[in-house]
Amino acid sequence: MTYRDLVHQIISTTLIHRHRITKSAQQAGLYYGQPMILEYIMNNNLCTQKDLAKSLHISPASVATSIKRLEKSGLISRITDENDSRKNRLSVTENGLAAIKNFREICDSTDREMFKDFTDEECEILNNLMKRLYNNLDNGDFCNEKINSKKEEEKAL
């Protein structure tokens, strides 16, 4: 077995997991990426779009697009800041909470399926190994970079 074989296995596993999570999001009436935005807003009620973009390492333009779509779908609401009428605060609606709950249940089922033949000890070992892989690659700049939207990437080309 080579490093390339191991990397291929990690990437393949990540891709199939992402595919399953994308399908789970669709079953819950969400687009890929929206669940993490909804969960952030749910856990940080009345946050700003700027807070959201910074925390999730995505561009403000990507956040604005997602927020418009989520608001149009009735999953979040914007509330004008009491102290600054130019600033909006974000909150998850009852429909948004129901969508996130449904999504989370489907994802938890996927995760249980993924690790069904693993002991707790094996999961702990795998977790430690994955942390080591991450730390070997992390040079500190990843969390400081924003993940660009597709439109921004196309502009750069």
Q: How far apart are CA 30 and CA 97, in angstroms?
A: 12
pLDDT for the residue 123: 97
DSSP 8-state secondary structure symbol assigned to residue 96: H
- Count of domains observed in the chain: 1
pLDDT for the residue numbered 56: 92
Residue 136 has pLDDT above 50, yes or no: yes
Q: Torsion-angle region of residue 103: left (phi > 0), alpha (psi -120 to 50) or beta?
A: alpha
Q: What is the pLDDT of residue 34?
A: 92
Instruction: For residue range 42-56, list pLDDT tens digits in order.
Output: 999 999 999 999 999
Give the per-residue pLDDT at 40: 96
Q: Which domain holds residue 24?
A: 3-156
> pLDDT at residue 156 above 70?
no
- What is residue 142's DSSP assignment? G
Q: Which residues, other chains included, contact 75 with Cβ-Cβ below 8 Å and sequence gap of 6+?
A: 30, 34, 38, 92, 93, 95, 96, 99
Give the distance between the most distant pair of CA atoms in the chain.
Answer: 61
| Average pLDDT over the chain, rounded to an integer | 89
Q: What pLDDT is recorded for position 142?
A: 64
How far CA 76 is from CA of 28, 31, 67, 100, in Å, comes to 15, 14, 8, 11
Q: Quick one: which of 153, 141, 144, 157 has its CA closest to 61?
A: 153
The CATH number that applies at residue 35 is 1.10.10.10
Higher pLDDT, residue 147 or 124: 124
Residue range 13-32, pLDDT digits in tens: 999 999 999 988 898 889 88
Q: What is the rounded distance in angstroms from the CA atom of residue 152 to the CA atom of residue 145? A: 14
